[in-house]
Structure 1
Amino acid sequence: MNWVSFPVLTYFHAFNLPVPLLATTDAESSSLVLAGVLLSLVVIYLASKLGGELCARIDLPPVLGELLAGVVVGVSALHLLIFPEAGEDGSHSLIMTLLQATANLSPDALTSVFHSQSEVISVLSELGVIILLFEIGLESDLKELLRVGIQATVVAVVGVVVPFALGTAGLMLIFGIPSVPAIFAGAALTATSIGITAKVLAEIQRLSSREGQIIIGAAVMDDILGIIVLAVVASLARDGKVEVGNVVYLIISSAVFLIGAIWIGRLLTPFFVTLVDGMKTRGQLLLSALIIAFVLSYVAAVIQLEAILGAFAAGLILAETEKQRELQKQVIPIADMLTPIFFVVVGARTDIGVLNPFVPENREGLIMASFLIMVAIFGKLVTGLSVFGQPGINRLAIGVGMIPRGEVGLVFASVGSASGVLTQSLEAAIIVMVILTTFLAPPLLRVVFNQGNGVVEPVEAPDPTE
């Protein structure tokens, strides 16, 4: 079997999905998947650089440019990078059209190539956010995170409870939405995209600030709470009742995983340093570190948590070693290659067509979206008020840092849509809320930090010997 088709087959067998036609065809078809992936990467990298450079020149976070560039090349505009989630068969993809014209593909073969190519790009996108969170963990201070741990937990809880309660109650009382769809939409308001916020904090050199550490700690807790909330509302939508055992399992497994991984990891780091120092082959530090990151990501995924939590824990552990600075430098090129895929793909999957008020079926959704956006922003801004014992801290920055929903909010919308519990207008409202909070937060975060009363930490001068 051609090596290109192996991960695709593995995916379909793992989830008991029907294997597409491509999996049983010859190496020529597999090479077309590779060609489609390469063209997609060209589009992604060009879009990320153009968008990032444009935003950098007008003093906006480059990550916002990557997200907007993804919107331009995705389903909302150019249709260069689209995915099969919305029932697409590849016929509207310009990349697939080019492949079909040059390789004379039949419609069935086109659909197979499209699905396989989309799966590869989706996996690369997930790898991108795993590497991003590993890098963020390396740049974080575990002692500072532990010091602000209680405050970060309080911020996370407030950031989940307030928008959930306001959103659910408002949809039921103001718009007359039934309880289960209202609860699902309220749950979508609880999310926080740690990837987007962490990237912006790193770009403006505030990741190691008190505010940055509280935001990151709260966002990690928010991810855990979000997983639990999603499990609860998905169970409610499916069975009309909540499986208490599943909720308890998620809570216990989250706590055991994070505490256990960090505790065991800190005990084993001296062995890791000794092992790396004894190796003679190239890439010994980077590959050994990635093994740890991927193992912890795998464990997190297996116990029904997010893989990015494992990567973040691995970064925190290795940040405590004497290899931290060297490892940071070696991870940067990997992150530069993979993380733009994640942000462009998030933008490409976002359909801004739901914002068009001239489409009648969008209007009800836009009215509900206006309400959800206000709740989404207010529900996270109040988190800054819950910070205690930190005189002079920028509470507004903490609240703004919790605003972006990003891909996490889209997961809630997609699960709700797949379960059939969301109406078309309510689903559109959630998507609009996710879009605007995702794009609004990065520039706002920069503004509130620039106007805050905290002092920006100086950037360490480069080593002249390098």
Structure 2
Amino acid sequence: MIRANLGDSLASIFNFGFDFSKPTFLLATAVQASSSIVLAGVLLSLVVIYFTSKLGGEISHRFGFPTVLGELVGGVLIGVSAFHILIFANGNDARSNSMIVAFLQATNGLSAEATPATFASISEILYDFSELGVIILLFEIGLESNLRELLKVGAQAAIVAVVGVTVPFALGTVGLMLLFHMSAIPAIFAGAALTATSIGITSKVLSELGQLNSKEGQIILGAAVIDDVLGIMVLAVVASLAKTGKVDVTNVVLLIVGATVFLLGAIWLGRFFNRAFIRVINRLKTRGGVIVPAMIFALSMAYLGAALHLEAILGAFAAGLVLEESDPRKELEVLLKPISDIFVPIFFVSVGAKTDLGVLNPLIPENREGLIIATFLIVVAILGKVVTGFTIRGKVPINRLAIGVGMIPRGEVGLVFAGVGAASGALSPALNAAILVMVIVTTFIAPPLLGIVLPRKRAN
């Protein structure tokens, strides 16, 4: 699942002639889709997503695992890897063997000619809902975080992030060149894909465990935010290298300055905004007087993050941190939870539904080389992040293993790296498959591992 906000930035920064803001199947459709049938398809898809989310989450919870794991696995079962109930259009292929589309053909009079356009439109809407879900998730995580505690662990989080980027990048790049005799550019691209961390998946698990404001949780969260920014910078460098053979220093400098000014500026301006926010909501007398202004602020910050070639989710997270210190924070958290319950499951189920486990099939000859490379990448991906927790020094008792495990999942961020690499032509089919396998494995093993190494806190 390639995030639209990051995709827009990548499209403008790297200029491959490939628009990551929307999948290519949305750029043109031969036959106009019927809006009523598209609506019916979206509604049916949401029914399937919510049912899968709830069933998977409940089963996962009963076995003591984070609910997000159940949502991911449930998504895999209904998606392209298993029952094909919910399929998302992929690349230039606008055809669908989705059971939902088949049901629309049987019950709503969807013609064969209109199927590609209808399928593309349904996918586009669900795609946008999914992106909105992760934005709301990060806004909620920002609200639940303690800004003062996050700033206290800022230095430790920075160390964890820097180590978590440099170690897997160096090991992956050098290892691929020495062990698999790859040329420099594809090896560098694969090494860069190892640097990512999915803040969405990790933060959700921490929240479920009641560990979001623990020392470990704050370090993981801070490191994941810094890791995201560093990851974008690394991607800018390697993408420029793949395209021109040299690094565009101007773009890299702009990214560094933009990220620093945006995050620090948002926190610094927060104290002034909080007073204005309270004055506004005190004057509002109609329904939604707290949640609507808060959502306006969060979505505006998300837009600003994307406009600065960063990430929309970083803007949403910064908005949550700003409002975390406001007086109506507790009320806002309560009001936001139903919205989160509606949109966030779409994100996690969609991640699972889009995960193609076919690349793991060793019976397909084309997969075997990729699986061998993937094994190496998985080892580096796990060890390169686990080691980060042990870079923390000090006498304060802290679960260093939990910090490293919390940095493991690559999730949607890793898919962005794979997408840019494929678009640039830098990745061979085997290496591209290997990166996808690495992303799949690290995304699915991290939630249960984190639940094991970081015990759930009991609610007071």
TM-score by length of 1: 0.91
Query: How far apart in 2 are the matches of 1:309 and 1:426?
Result: 29
1:318 aligns with 2:323: yes
Aligned residue among 286, 306, 311 for 2:311: 306
Deviates more, 1:417-426 or 1:181-190: 417-426
Question: 1:101: Cα distance to partner?
Answer: 2.2
Q: Which of the numbers 268, 275, 279 marks the counterpart of 1:270?
A: 275
Q: Which moved more, 1:383-392 or 1:240-249?
A: 383-392
Name 1:256's counterpart in structure 2.
Answer: 261
Measure, in 1, the Cα distance between the counterparts of 2:443 and 2:156.
Answer: 24
Q: 1: distance between equivalents of 2:242 and 2:317?
A: 31
Q: Report how far residue 91 of structure 1 moved.
A: 2.9
The offset of 1:103, in angstroms, is 3.3
Query: Does residue 300 of structure 2 align to residue 291 of structure 1?
Result: no
Q: Is 1:229 the counterpart of 2:234 in the alignment?
A: yes
Is the 2:362–2:371 Cα contact (8 Å) retained in structure 1? yes
> Is residue 431 from structure 1 mapped to residue 436 from structure 2 by the alignment?
yes
In the aligned structure 1, how far is the partner of 2:395 from the partner of 2:158? 15
Contact kept? 1:209, 1:457, Cα under 8 Å: no
Q: Distance in 2 between matches of 1:142 and 1:298?
A: 22
Residue 459 of structure 2 corresponds to: 459
2:205 is aligned, of 172, 176, 200, to 200
Q: Which has the higher contact order (CA 8 A, sep 6+)?
A: 2
Partners of 1:82 and 1:65 lie apart in 2 by 18
In structure 2, the CA distance between the partners of 1:187 and 1:45, relative to structure 1 (3 Å rule), is: same
Superposition pairs for residues 33-432 of structure 1, below 5 Å? Answer: 33-389=38-394, 391-432=396-437
After TM superposition, the structure 1 stretch with the greater mean CA deviation from structure 2, 382-391 or 164-173, is 382-391
User: Judging changes above 3 Å, is the alpha-carbon distance between structure 1 residues 66 and 390 closer, same or farther for their aligned structure 2 residues?
Assistant: farther
Is the CA contact (8 Å cut-off) linking 2:37 and 2:110 kept in structure 1? Answer: no
SS in 1 for 2:213: coil
> Cα deviations across residues 244-264 of structure 1 (Å, max 9, x unaligned)?
100000000000001111211
Q: Is the 8 A contact 1:71 1:349 kept in 2?
A: yes
The alpha-carbon deviation at position 458 of structure 1 amounts to 5.2
1:229 deviates by 1.1
- SS of alignment partner, residue 291 of structure 1: helix
Matched to 1:342, the amino acid is F
| TM-fit CA distance, 1:76 | 0.6
Partners of 1:220 and 1:209 lie apart in 2 by 16
Equivalent residue of 1:108, what SS? coil
Which stretches of structure 1, 4 residues or longer, exceed 6 Å deviation after superposition? 14-17
Q: 1:378 to 1:253 in 2, by over 3 A?
A: same
**Contact residue 242 and residue 426 of structure 2 kept, 8 A:** yes
Alpha-carbon distance, 1:86 to partner: 4.1
2:29 to 14, 20, 34: 20
> What's the offset of the Cα at 1:385?
1.3
Give the AA of the match of 1:155: V
20 and 265 in structure 1: CA distance in 2 versus 1, 3 angstrom threshold: farther
Distance in 2, Cα, partners of 1:185 & 1:263: 37
SS where residue 123 of structure 2 aligns? helix
Alignment partners' CA distance in 2, 1:328 and 1:226: 30
Extract unaligned runs of 5+ from structure 2.
Answer: 1-18
- What is the CA–CA distance in structure 2 between the aligned matches of 1:59 and 1:189, rounded to whole Å? 29
Could you tell me how far apart the structure 2 residues matched to 1:390 and 1:139 are?
Answer: 27
The range that moved more, 31-40 or 98-107, is 98-107
Instruction: Name the count of aligned residue pairs.
Output: 439
Q: What secondary structure does 1:388 align onto?
A: coil
What amino acid maps onto 1:275 in structure 2? V
Give the alignment's Cα RMSD to 1 decimal: 1.6
In structure 2, distance between residues paired with 1:190 and 1:132: 22
Letter of the 2:386 counterpart? L
User: Alpha-carbon deviation of 1:38?
Assistant: 0.6
Give how far 1:393 is off: 0.6
Q: Which region of structure 1 is more displaced relative to structure 2, 357-366 or 207-216?
A: 357-366
Q: Is the Cα contact below 8 Å between 1:215 and 1:401 reproduced in 2?
A: yes
Partners of 2:103 and 2:457 in 1: how far apart? 49
Q: Is the 8 A contact 1:22 1:112 kept in 2?
A: yes
Measure how far apart 1:18 and its partner are: 4.3
Q: Which amino acid aligns with 1:339?
A: V
**Distance of 1:289 and 1:21 partners within structure 2:** 41
The amino acid that maps onto 1:289 is: A
Q: CA deviation at 1:459?
A: 2.3
Partner Cα separation in structure 2 for residue 398 and residue 78 of structure 1: 36
Structure 1 unaligned residues grouped into runs of 5+:
1-11, 451-455, 461-466
- 1:90, 1:96 within 8 Å by CA — same for their partners in 2? no
Question: Do the aligned partners of 1:22 and 1:30 also contact (CA within 8 Å) in 2?
Answer: no
Q: 1:266 to 1:457 in 2, by over 3 A?
A: farther
Q: Provide TM-score, normalisation by structure 2.
A: 0.93
Amino acid of the structure 1 residue aligned with 2:295: L
Superimposed CA distance per residue, residues 122-149 of structure 1 (whole angstroms, 9 cap, x where no aligned partner): 1000000000000000000000111111
SS in 2 for 1:192: coil
| Residue type of the alignment partner of 2:29 | P
For 1:418, the aligned partner's letter is A
Distance 2:308 2:365 in 1: 43
Cα deviation for residue 19 of structure 1 reads 4.5
Whole-Å Cα distance in 2 between the matches of residues 296 and 109 of structure 1? Answer: 38
